[in-house]
Chain A
Amino acid sequence: MILSLDPELMQVLLLSLEVSGLAICIAVVLGIPSGVFLGLRRFPGRNLLITLVNTGMGLPPVVVGLVVFLFLARSGPLGNLNLLYTPSAMIIAQIIIALPIVMGVTMAGIQNLDEKLRLQILALGASKLQYFWKLIEEGRLIVLSALAAGFGSIISEVGAVMMVGGNIKGQTRVLTTAIVLETRQGNYSLAIALGIILFLIALLLNLVFTYLQQRRSS
């Protein structure tokens, strides 16, 4: 089934990659700069924000799904956008799940960089922006881990996408929700095929990250 590139299966796979890929891209664009900022700057309310990020890192996806559902439901505050049960809703939910993870890992990593290294960058005449950019460059491994941790958490997530996407065949069905459904319906071979694909994606990604990490640190 995998080898024959079953069209239904391919569609589910592509949507999974599309939703989680887009969500992680947005989470990285937002999360890395804010993680660096949170790691370096002292400002009022910082501790509260860090607590929120840390809580967010361990937030059950189902809860995120519920909140996004309530916001996007027809009677909810954003109901008129008609986003519920669309891939966009799934992307929003996944961004909310991945963002604190990307922020938290980045923040911890930046704080771990030698303080003297940070001063050294400024002492060579870097502007604020150049300084932030150089830190991200110096912490490339950290950024990579943030990316891996964030993507890993959303590609394998089922609760939130199920709630806000609805698992509609051909529209919002992704790998994880499809596995749940097919298992329930007794289509074990399809469920297993989907499971193998999900496993292979995780394996492939981790191979790439491990390779990059080892190349840098060797």
Chain B
Amino acid sequence: MKAILRLKDVEVALGGKTILNIKELDVRSEEILTILGPTGSGKSTTLKLMAFLIKPKKGELFWQGKKVRFPAPLVIRRSISMTFQDPLPFEGTVFENVAYGLRIRGIKGKELRTRVEEALELFSISHLKNQSAKKVSGGEAQRVALARSLVFRPSLLLLDEPLASLDPITKEGMIPELHKVLKQLGITCVYVTHDQEEAFALADRIAVMEQGEIIQVGTKEDVFFKPGDVRVARFVGAENLIPAVILSNEEGLVTMKAQGKTLEAVAPFPQGTGVIACIRPEEITLKKDGAALDRVTARNQLPGIVLSLETLGPVIKVSLDCGFQIKALITRRSASDLNLKPGDAIFATFKATAVHVIPEVKGGTNG
């Protein structure tokens, strides 16, 4: 697919210190690329660079295949639009806020009105158009900011954690809405977030960032279920990272030894490889009754002791000692059916396909 924007070997420095170092990153036409990473990993800096608002110390940026010199020409800057975490309303009404991008592009009169009204409609804020933009609620202000960014139909929309300041319910409602609008208009979007659920819900592709570098780019399925290294695995929620050594590999089905326990998984690595076995906590099922295990098809069945239970809203995170510590996520109902409490003996079961194996050298150990 064609890259609308390409970053090549770019470095950004702040006060002499390199804060961003990207070897290569493409933004493909009409995709939603989310940049996922912890706070301070360089996500916002990447967006500002993509908006041509800051100049890299080194490296090149290509806009639709052509190298861009800094300061970027206005015509390129005008093809790009960016929204920040704060809605940053301007003085004046909601209508005037949304109209700003059109006015500075010389659009006026009937065309301006029609296009602003369309944008207001798109984000269901038509009823607010005559209100002061500084007086609407947080969620509404964020819609105003999004409408203001989209009204002139940029070729590339950059969103910097636009939902981070919203309450969970408003946020949950806005994610599918935003996804629908972006896909409906066919807008290429780079979406920055530290929230893995948000990233997964919106993305076509995900780039994971840490300490100013991109450590993995891929489809969201790849990044979430086949993380390339331990840092990515940890960040996308694969909480169980178990160091192991491969004992045998029979046509892709590997048997591993981890702290004296045997694990089975699907992986391409040969015998003797040091690896990290990643298991997402929601892939683990708990059974109390040893006899019931006969009916379980999962290849991995580890006996263990319950260490602690932690309630996380509708689910419960159970920590187990199976020779190494692992964590499982189960529903409240399962927990009460099993009558779980610390000290109980239990079996943790999971399929061989639920274990993602990363060679140890790539990302170091899970320390």
| A contact residues vs B (CB 8 Å cutoff) | 114, 116-117, 119-120, 122-127, 130, 134, 137-138, 140, 216
Residue contact B81 to A119, C-beta cutoff 8 Å: no
- Chain B's closest residue to A130 (CB) is B104
Distance A120 CA – B51 CA, assembled complex (angstroms): 10
Known contacts: A119-B53, A130-B104, A138-B91. The answer to whether A124 contacts B84 by CB under 8 A is no
Count A/B pairs, Cβ under 8 Å: 55
Residue contact B53 to A124, C-beta cutoff 8 Å: no
- Report B320 CB to chain A, min CB distance, Å: 45
Q: Does B201 sit at the interface, judged by CB under 8 A?
A: no
| B contact residues vs A (CB 8 Å cutoff) | 48, 51, 53, 74, 77-78, 80-84, 86, 88, 90-91, 100-101, 104-105, 148-149, 152, 158
- Report A7 CB to chain B, min CB distance, Å: 45
Known contacts: A127-B104, A130-B104. The answer to whether A122 contacts B77 by CB under 8 A is yes
Known contacts: A122-B53, A124-B149, A138-B90. The answer to whether A116 contacts B104 by CB under 8 A is no
Residue contact B91 to A126, C-beta cutoff 8 Å: no
A-B pairs with lowest CB-CB distance, top 6:
A123-B82, A125-B78, A124-B101, A120-B88, A130-B104, A117-B88
Residue contact A114 to B104, C-beta cutoff 8 Å: no
Known contacts: A122-B77, A124-B81, A124-B101. The answer to whether A114 contacts B148 by CB under 8 A is no
Residues of B within 8 A of A137 (CB): 90-91
Q: What are 22 A-B residue pairs whose CB atoms fall within 8 Å in the complex?
A: A114-B86, A119-B53, A119-B82, A119-B84, A120-B84, A120-B88, A122-B51, A123-B53, A123-B81, A124-B104, A124-B148, A124-B152, A125-B74, A125-B77, A125-B78, A125-B81, A125-B104, A126-B104, A127-B104, A130-B104, A137-B91, A138-B91
Residues of A within 8 A of B152 (CB): 124-125
Residue contact B88 to A116, C-beta cutoff 8 Å: yes
Distance A137 CA – B92 CA, assembled complex (angstroms): 10
Distance A130 CA – B77 CA, assembled complex (angstroms): 14
Given A123-B81, A125-B78, A134-B90, 17 additional A-B pairs, CB 8 A = A116-B84, A117-B88, A119-B53, A119-B84, A120-B84, A122-B51, A123-B80, A123-B82, A123-B158, A124-B101, A124-B152, A125-B74, A125-B77, A125-B101, A125-B105, A127-B104, A216-B91
Residues of A within 8 A of B86 (CB): 114, 116
- Chain A's closest residue to B84 (CB) is A116
Residues of A within 8 A of B90 (CB): 117, 134, 137-138
- Chain A's closest residue to B78 (CB) is A125
Residues of A within 8 A of B81 (CB): 123-125
- Report B182 CB to chain A, min CB distance, Å: 17
Distance A105 CA – B340 CA, assembled complex (angstroms): 67
Residue contact A123 to B104, C-beta cutoff 8 Å: no
Distance A116 CA – B158 CA, assembled complex (angstroms): 14
- Report A16 CB to chain B, min CB distance, Å: 34
Residue contact B74 to A127, C-beta cutoff 8 Å: yes
Residues of B within 8 A of A120 (CB): 82-84, 88
- Chain A's closest residue to B103 (CB) is A130
Residues of B within 8 A of A134 (CB): 90, 100
Distance A190 CA – B266 CA, assembled complex (angstroms): 102
- Report A160 CB to chain B, min CB distance, Å: 36
Which one, B51, B74, B91, B105, contacts A123 given CB within 8 A?
Answer: B51
- Report B295 CB to chain A, min CB distance, Å: 58
Residue contact B82 to A140, C-beta cutoff 8 Å: no
- Report B83 CB to chain A, min CB distance, Å: 8
Distance A137 CA – B97 CA, assembled complex (angstroms): 13
- Report B44 CB to chain A, min CB distance, Å: 10
- Report B122 CB to chain A, min CB distance, Å: 17
Distance A114 CA – B86 CA, assembled complex (angstroms): 11
- Report A144 CB to chain B, min CB distance, Å: 13
Distance A111 CA – B355 CA, assembled complex (angstroms): 54
Residues of B within 8 A of A117 (CB): 88, 90
Distance A117 CA – B158 CA, assembled complex (angstroms): 16
Distance A140 CA – B90 CA, assembled complex (angstroms): 12
